[in-house]
Structure 1
Amino acid sequence: MSTNPIEFNIAPVAECSVLVTLTIPPSTHRSPTIYAQYIARACDAIRQNLATVLMNVTPAYHSILVDYLPYRISEQQCITQLNLLLTQTLSSSIKTNDTGNIIELPAYYSLETALDLHRYQEKGLSLNDVIQYHTSQTYCVSAIGFMPGFAFMSDVVSELILPRHSTPRLAVPKGSIAIAGSKTAVYPSESPGGWNIIGHCPLPLFDHHQLKSAQGTQPSLSLLNVGDTVHFTSISKREFIKLSRGVSNG
């Protein structure tokens, strides 16, 4: 167990897997951004220092699942090394300028791409209102899940908060910009989903073509990773078509 500014616990959860759970004391600012930055710092340290004994390092909102190679390290050795590593890594506070990558995502908001605009119109918001509110925030990637490259970003302004659809769509288009509750995300692949669609991003967020050659601990297949800072920039239809064609042409 570490000391202030953050505490952690390590426990076995399955064969060849341990779970690191982080807890920020009440005296410390506990925003989603702070949690994400600590998670990102811890994941980087684990990947860099224990790479030869790892299968996967999977971050979530307040925890990290570490899958290790049992023929290279025992459960107790893994826990001991993680304890020493994280005690040192998490001993200092997160500074305001201590952030991950800063990523600008182009977003085409329109009547043809905002599939759930009517739900916001029922709240009295126009398309321009949705654009203004969604692009006014800087988001932090708090977790990756649901599918490869799907980044949960925190938090939208209160005016944009909407619950998921009670009945999900069978197919949400790849690149759809969406909101569920207070989170926003971009669908990296076509998929079933119940989030509220407000626009489209033409950039690829996950490189499926490199999956076969990728190592288990390689984080670069996804454009967005935990701890990254994201800002959406509204683009015109012409810019959207140009960017889409550029992606298609490689």
Structure 2
Amino acid sequence: MNPDYAVHPLGDRAVILKWEQKISMAVHQEVMKTYHSLLSRSCPYILDLIPAYASLTIVYDAAQLRCNERVPGLQWMTAYIREKTTTQEAIASPAPRELQIPVCYDPSLGLDITEMAASRNVTITDIIAWHSQTIYTVYLTGFLPGFPYMGEVCAALQTPRRQQPRLHVPAGSVGIAGIQTGIYPLASPGGWNIIGQTPLRMFDATRADPCYCRPGDRVQFIPVTLEVFKQIQQQP
């Protein structure tokens, strides 16, 4: 069985597996299948596995691998990956987590929601309904620690990034860029169109698992009022 990805070196301590480069649930499922297959085998040389839309980065211990296997890391890792991902042995992927994330779409928090509604000749209520009625898949986290890239938003919501990025986007801001939606876990400059804000902390370095979202999660946004938003925000 020939794998449907290509293996490329990524520096001298990592390789990247690349599938067809597009945002596709089918492609991402193959990424996650390979991710869980390698994760379940607990190879002592693999230090980290980083799934994305259509790729999987594998960071490995080059020094230990060369010392023990006496072959270049890229050569050994490529052979290992090919062997473990083309086997007929079934590796069951865990069921995705189902997350409900509260979002307040009040214009005081959704900095671009009024403009988005006006540009489409619809109401803010329409924008909220379109955004909250879809269940999104977290394809990857990145850009900022714990920033979840999710898709796909419905055609009516698809919006290019802002031509002029903001210098300050508050933590928890929920935005749209192209066919993606995401959440800023930390205050940051950014060019996504902000339509709301969640009171949840999307990244907390003090937690054992600091990122609220993980690749593969399924997320639905739950609209809440400004009053409820403030109540949740004040909870410890």
Same fold (TM over 0.5): yes
Contact 1:46 1:85 in 2 (8 A): yes
**Distance in 2 between the 1:145 and 1:89 partners?**
32
In structure 2, the CA distance between the partners of 1:185 and 1:23, relative to structure 1 (3 Å rule), is same
Amino acid at match of 2:85: L
Moved over 4 A (4+): 89-94
Partner of 2:174: 177
Say what the alpha-carbon RMSD is for the aligned residues. Answer: 2.5
1:106 aligns with 2:102: yes
CA positional deviation for 1:93: 11
**Distance in 2 between the 1:89 and 1:58 partners?**
24
Partner of 1:8: 5
Partner of 1:227: 216
Contact 2:104 2:198 in 1 (8 A): yes
Q: 2:161 aligns with which of 131, 151, 164?
A: 164
In structure 2, the CA distance between the partners of 1:227 and 1:90, relative to structure 1 (3 Å rule), is farther
Aligned pair count?
A: 228
CA positional deviation for 1:119: 2.3
Identity of aligned residues (%): 27
Partner of 1:48: 40
In structure 2, the CA distance between the partners of 1:38 and 1:189, relative to structure 1 (3 Å rule), is same
**Distance in 2 between the 1:240 and 1:105 partners?**
11
Instruction: Give the secondary structure class of the aligned counterpart of 1:71.
Output: helix
Partner of 1:217: none
In structure 2, the CA distance between the partners of 1:89 and 1:138, relative to structure 1 (3 Å rule), is farther
Contact 2:113 2:196 in 1 (8 A): no
CA positional deviation for 1:194: 0.3
Normalising by structure 1, report the TM-score: 0.82
Instruction: Give the secondary structure class of the aligned counterpart of 2:228.
Output: helix
Unpaired stretches in structure 2, ≥5 consecutive residues: 66-72
Contact 1:36 1:140 in 2 (8 A): no
In structure 2, the CA distance between the partners of 1:205 and 1:112, relative to structure 1 (3 Å rule), is same
In structure 2, the CA distance between the partners of 1:48 and 1:93, relative to structure 1 (3 Å rule), is closer
1:32 aligns with 2:34: no
Contact 2:175 2:195 in 1 (8 A): yes
> Can you list the C-alpha shifts for 1:79-108, whole angstroms capped at 9, x where unaligned?
2111111113897899xxx75211111111
Partner of 1:63: 55
Partner of 1:194: 191
Unpaired stretches in structure 1, ≥5 consecutive residues: 25-29, 215-219
> Can you list the C-alpha shifts for 1:177-217, whole angstroms capped at 9, x where unaligned?
1001111001111111000000011111122235xxx7xxx
Contact 1:37 1:99 in 2 (8 A): no
In structure 2, the CA distance between the partners of 1:58 and 1:176, relative to structure 1 (3 Å rule), is same
CA positional deviation for 1:23: 4.2
In structure 2, the CA distance between the partners of 1:63 and 1:84, relative to structure 1 (3 Å rule), is same
**Distance in 2 between the 1:48 and 1:188 partners?**
29
Q: Which moved more, 1:133-142 or 1:51-60?
A: 51-60
**Distance in 2 between the 1:188 and 1:170 partners?**
15
